[in-house]
Amino acid sequence: MVGSGLCIGCGGCAAAAADGAMAWDRYGTWKPAGAFAAERSAAFALRCPFSPAARDEDAIAAERFPAAPRATALLGRHESTWVGHVAEGAWRGTGSSGGMVSWVAAELLRTGAVDAVAHVVASDSPRDEGRFFAYRLSRDAAALRSGAKSRYYPVELSAILREIRATPGRYAIVAVPCFAKMIQLERARDPVLRARVPHVLGLFCGHQKSARLVDSFAWQLDTPRDRVRAVDYRIKDAGRPANWYRAHLTLDDGSARAEDWWHLADGDWGAGFFQNSACDMCDDVVAETADVAFGDAWVEPYASDGRGTNVVIARTPLIDGLIRAAVAEGRLALEEVDAGFVEATQAAGFRHRREGLAYRLTWRRWRGGVAKRKRVAPAARALPLRRRLVYRGRAAIARWSHRLAWLAARTGRPGLYLRWARPALALYRALAWSHGRLGGWVDRLLPDAPRR
């Protein structure tokens, strides 16, 4: 899995092996480490979320949500779909989006449905811990609130899964789609985990970034990385559109540096900078195996509302009921919407995971076992040249950002990365967008290109 570029670094395999461990690789992603990582066992193949031998999201969801009244090809099985935000308390203000993830987690704690929630929090001492963020178990609302916000940073679950297996109780886990899949694969195999993890709270996911994105922020904000104490990928500002991301670093002397993403050499999420290679083979945007899934409402008027707005997919009757009751009490400002609305909020993600995945599956790198087991069939013929170049461009940006940022960090010369990143992004944008001078030039060169 590691050699083929399909390891996302979730830590499921390490948690299940007596001598299992995870370690950073040179590109700033987690990988299995030590003797166990060299084993080839059928059991590992069945539990790894990207393994062609593992059950796919459709099969898992059919087993997990057999009575779900609704299903679409893009959202999977579900009870209901919503748009809005938390109305009560400070959840919306402290969350990245509408605060719904932290609220649902807190509600599960408050109602006694779980004893603890595994989610991702900032490290107390990044230098000592060797990471800026990690999974932690929170047992009350205040701890949950302190861990709110999206961390576009690699995390792994091995220590938490071990702790859950060792400590009786009921737990919820907040997880991106591939982590949710791994948890469900583990739950199916392990009765202890099945009993102790009754709820998985899913996050929609565009892709996962490597830890090098923090290095890049530090380089561009003229700050030695060793002095960075805290990272906020998208600081909230109610006065600006929610999709105008602003990166924020807190330094060891308490001072801060911040910059809007669009001024950064790699500040275009969709261009694929530092993307984990496994994400190129993912076909789940909306955590189809999670009991409830949350994303940002990336359509107007919500995208322009800097206070943040969620879309939510409830997949179990329990979560659906919990949301309906809280809406009736005025604690949540959510409105029920149809599946098409939620799908539209993730149009770019679905394009990349359906049209883009179909195309990537025709590449030599990905042909073979994995291609046969995806829920998307390989296809390239009908795809216009411009779209092909966009997908090729993203893959090249992902691959070269890893290599050049590693070289820049190793040599202490950030320019090696930054001098490549800026023109790479400009070229990508010219391909992906049909406006601007470069875009017009590309249009003349590729007249069959569809306009966005």
Interacting residues toward ligand FAD by CB under 6 A: 95-102, 119-121, 147-152, 155, 174-176, 203-206, 208, 294-296, 298, 308, 310, 346, 349
How far apart are CB 173 and ligand FAD at their closest, in Å? 8
Identify which of 121, 111, 176, 182 has the alpha carbon closest to the alpha carbon of residue 146. Answer: 121
Compute CA distances 142 → 100, 107, 240, 308, whole Å: 15, 12, 27, 20
Residue 79 or 343: the one with the smaller Cβ distance to ligand FAD is 343
Residue 45 or 348: the one with the smaller Cβ distance to ligand FAD is 348
How far apart are CB 42 and ligand FAD at their closest, in Å? 28
429 and 439 in contact (C-beta within 8 Å)? yes
Residue 60 or 292: the one with the smaller Cβ distance to ligand FAD is 292
Residue 298 or 420: the one with the smaller Cβ distance to ligand FAD is 298
Residue 157 or 416: the one with the smaller Cβ distance to ligand FAD is 157
How far apart are CB 409 and ligand FAD at their closest, in Å? 21
How far apart are CB 292 and ligand FAD at their closest, in Å? 11
How far apart are CB 384 and ligand FAD at their closest, in Å? 24
How far is Cα 6 from Cα 376, in angstroms, rounded to an integer? 17
How far is Cα 287 from Cα 214, in angstroms, rounded to an integer? 25
193's CB contacts (< 8 A; 6+ apart) are 161, 164, 165, 183, 186, 187
Cβ-count burial 257-290 (b if 16+ within 10 Å, e if not):
bebebeebbbbbbbbbbbbbbbbbbbbbbbbbbb
How far is Cα 328 from Cα 88, in angstroms, rounded to an integer? 13
How far is Cα 1 from Cα 18, in angstroms, rounded to an integer? 19
Task: Tell how strand 76-78 and strand 70-72 pair up.
Answer: antiparallel
Residue 225 or 351: the one with the smaller Cβ distance to ligand FAD is 351
State the maximum Cα–Cα separation within the chain, in Å, rounded to a whole number. Answer: 64
How far apart are CB 415 and ligand FAD at their closest, in Å? 28
How far apart are CB 369 and ligand FAD at their closest, in Å? 26
Residue 232 or 420: the one with the smaller Cβ distance to ligand FAD is 232
CB atoms within 10 A of CB 303: 16
